[in-house]
Amino acid sequence: MNRKMTVLVLFVVGLVLASCSGLQQTKAPGYGDPPIITASFCVDKGMYGDPIKIYLAAEDTHGDMDRIAVQVTQVGYGFYPTSWTVVKPRYQKKFVGYLQWDTFSPGLQEMPEWTKITMNVTVLDKHGYQSKAVVLPYTFVTGTSASPALPPPFNQGEMFRIGWIDVELINPQSGIIY
């Protein structure tokens, strides 16, 4: 009798394990497939007050891209709150365009020369799945021009503005937060 019970328990455990492995293979379509940033570009230096354009190309196999997150980090200060841009319905499957950031902040007349920032950009879909981040370094330098020759696919005519980056910088040397 003990032997029969052992065989029965092993049989039940086997059924449970088989059903669990089958559950892993039957996930709903659209889940687990994050958006993909296929290309990105941003100049790496410019003058404080000049607009920064972050060029992005992204796609999502299920057409449910929802938001773009930009996290700015400034050397000597730290992280700023994330700037969110909602992806318009007609661009939720695929887009090629740019985010614009007007870097002049109210109350901040100048930024110290050679101030470095980093912009981490990700795209999220409606299920919360997130693309791999693109990391774009930038340095504020006086006397530089921000009109570069754009690489493909951003050199294919007029680019549309996806949205705005809403981050107000501070001068970490002033000790005043604006």
CATH of the domain at 142: 2.60.40.10
Give domain status of residue 20, yes or no. Answer: no
For residues 48 and 153, is the Cβ–Cβ distance under 8 A? no
Query: Is the pTM for the entire model greater than 0.85?
Result: no
Residue 41 belongs to domain spanning: 36-164
Q: Is residue 130 part of a domain?
A: yes
Of 78, 67, 83, the closest CA to residue 167 belongs to 83
Beta bridge partners of 107: none
**pLDDT tens-digit profile of 81-122?**
999 999 999 999 999 999 999 998 877 777 888 999 999 999
pLDDT by residue (tens digit) across 133-162? 999 999 999 887 657 889 999 998 889 999
User: What's the structural domain count of the chain?
Assistant: 1
The pLDDT-based confidence of 10 (bands split at 50, 70, 90) is very low
Instruction: Flag whether 74 is in a domain.
Output: yes
Q: Do residues 161 and 87 touch, judged by C-beta distance below 8 A?
A: no
Radius of gyration of the chain (CA): 24
Residue 26 covered by a domain:
no
Taking a C-beta distance cutoff of 8 angstroms, is the pair 54, 40 a contact?
yes
Does any domain span residue 49? yes
Q: Would 175 be classed as within a structural domain? A: no
In-domain check, residue 92: yes
Instruction: Give the per-residue pLDDT at 14.
Output: 47
Any domain includes 86:
yes
